[in-house]
Chains A and B, each alone.
Chain A
């Protein structure tokens, strides 16, 4: 699958770089003597009122925001996959119905409001712990997709044919269900990451939780106090946010296929192939 999808490799590489850079990069130093400097050749985006180089600060905050959002996305994918597959296997029964009701309730509150309350109740949670907790509120986004895709795949003729020639459930899951789910979930995961960038940014903007002074949202909120004295501080924070969102949006767009396109290509692929397991 990877060989046929170069864009997928690029997307995963970008994700890995963002994650690693966000985790290992250190916050830039501060020097109060060079506060409020206008953009120049030595400081391309000027300096902040606290003496940070604005470009370095925004780069660090952007990478850190991306890494936190990616971590939360990974947690959500894990929880959503477990719930989605369980619901698909027990469809129209208790687990499926319970997940449907819970999903509707969580949907009415929205992830951001739940995140804000969690951050206010437990202000000492760091963004990584928060990401883990948020996956318990955001799983319906993933589980609904996985549930519908799994149910659809298990009903297709080529899966029936595989079963008829003796393919076991693990073979079917590996060869049919997993690739179809990956095709649907990958673009969704970038959309989720965009959403989490917004959630963490929003929390920092409101000043709740421990996203800290280097959160992109906090920098954006803080910079509005200096709109007249250091407008480049605000412009850089806004630009950093928009660039990150554009990058994530572009990755989602390059990977996005409609379910109909995915199913058509997979069915075409499977009708040309004979299952490798032929032991009746």
Chain B
């Protein structure tokens, strides 16, 4: 069997082309980030907000940040450093970036693991419970309408989760456990809302298909039909994976800021507040690469 481009399905060549494509996109992403952090600051308009800045001060600041010299030399230097596993030094603290990034990722792992568990086990079963045949009853329609609106910005969800912790759990014995639980809730709130609404809509539209009539006609119960539909819904949600990943990464930034977790997200906040462009750049490259790889892998499957 061949795919639409004429390659045998699952062939080594097809996989190699897919991988090459991902590598090419990653290179382009790196080039975009290079432009954002190394070339754009060169424009006085961007760096000074269109108001004049002393050119002497600007060139001194750029030299201090390691941004002196022509742009192509800096780009080649960046790649030679990357191939040697050297991510450079933080502009602010002068510390090597690679070990700090690794350490911070370890601190964020519980948040991400919790978010993944929530995303795997809550939205689809909840949407399956919610699924009905025919027009939705008014109560459920209102539920879906509300859920659509509750896909609020993540910092609102995180702030609400933090308020719940302060008001209800901060002085209890379970303060540490609830802090993590609510941090996970804040991190995952937006992806959870998106996944639930998408799954509920997919369940609703699939349940109107004629094969569901057939299942019911041969005597299957509605909950068994829903169980079968869950697989279709899970498959149809692949296209959301990259969005959900980006949502979790963003949620980590806000949750770690409020809940004071010294992880990957908080590192980004520190870098932003100190304009530490080296750390920002690597953070963006890691986050963008993860999302890009998931997007491309999903497109290939």
Interface residues of A (CB under 8 A from B): 101, 104-110, 112-114, 116-126, 129, 133, 197-198, 201-202, 205-208, 210, 217, 220-221, 224, 227-228, 231, 234, 238, 241-242, 245-246, 249
Contact = CB atoms under 8 A, between A and B. Distances in A.
A157 B135 CA distance: 35
B254 A202 contact: yes
Interface in B157-173: 159-160, 162-163, 166-167
Task: Pick the 6 closest A-B CB pairs, nearest first.
Answer: A124-B49, A198-B153, A108-B292, A120-B272, A108-B291, A205-B155
Contacts of A133: 46
Contacts of B284: 109, 113, 117
5 contacts: A110-B291, A207-B273, A210-B49, A217-B155, A224-B258
B92 to A, nearest CB: 12
B100 interface: no
Contacts of A120: 271-273, 275, 277, 280
Contact of B250 (A110, A241, A245): A110
B109 interface: no
B155 A201 contact: yes
B152 interface: yes
Given A120-B272, A201-B153, A249-B148, A129 B40 contact: no
Given A107-B295, A113-B284, A113-B287, A122 B48 contact: yes
B288 interface: yes
A125 B166 CA distance: 35
Interface of chain A: mostly helix, strand, loop or mixed: helix
A206 B25 contact: no
Given A124-B49, A202-B153, A101 B28 contact: yes
B130 interface: no
A106 B37 CA distance: 15
- Between A121, A123, A231, the greatest number of chain B beta carbons within 10 A of the residue's beta carbon is seen for A121
B125 interface: no
Nearest to A133: B46
Given A122-B49, A208-B273, A217-B155, A114 B163 contact: no
Contact of B156 (A220, A227, A228, A231): A220
B88 interface: no
Interface residues of B, number: 48
Contacts of B19: none
B163 A227 contact: yes
A117 B36 contact: yes
Contacts of A119: 272
Interface string B12-52: 00000000000001001100100011001100001111110
Contact of A109 (B163, B277, B287): B287
B149 A246 contact: yes
Contacts of A112: 250
A201 B154 CA distance: 10
B184 interface: no
Given A201-B155, A227-B167, A116 B47 contact: no
Interface of B: 25, 28-29, 32, 36-37, 40-41, 46-51, 148-149, 152-156, 159-160, 162-163, 166-167, 242, 246, 250, 253-254, 257-258, 268-269, 271-273, 275, 277, 280, 284, 287-288, 291-292, 295
Given A117-B284, A124-B48, A208-B272, 6 more contacts: A105-B29, A110-B246, A113-B287, A120-B271, A202-B153, A238-B159
Nearest to A248: B149
A224 B163 contact: yes
B48 A202 contact: no
Contact of A206 (B153, B269, B277): B269
A243 B132 CA distance: 31
Contacts of A245: 149, 152-153
B49 A121 contact: no
A249 B40 CA distance: 35
A121 B40 contact: yes
Nearest to A227: B166
Given A108-B292, A201-B153, A246-B149, A228 B287 contact: no
B289 to A, nearest CB: 8
Contacts of B275: 120-121, 123
A165 B46 CA distance: 51
B28 A206 contact: no
A105 B156 CA distance: 27
Contacts of A197: 153
Contact of A105 (B32, B40, B280): B32
Contacts of B272: 116-117, 119-120, 206, 208
Contacts of A108: 29, 242, 246, 288, 291-292, 295
A108 B40 CA distance: 20
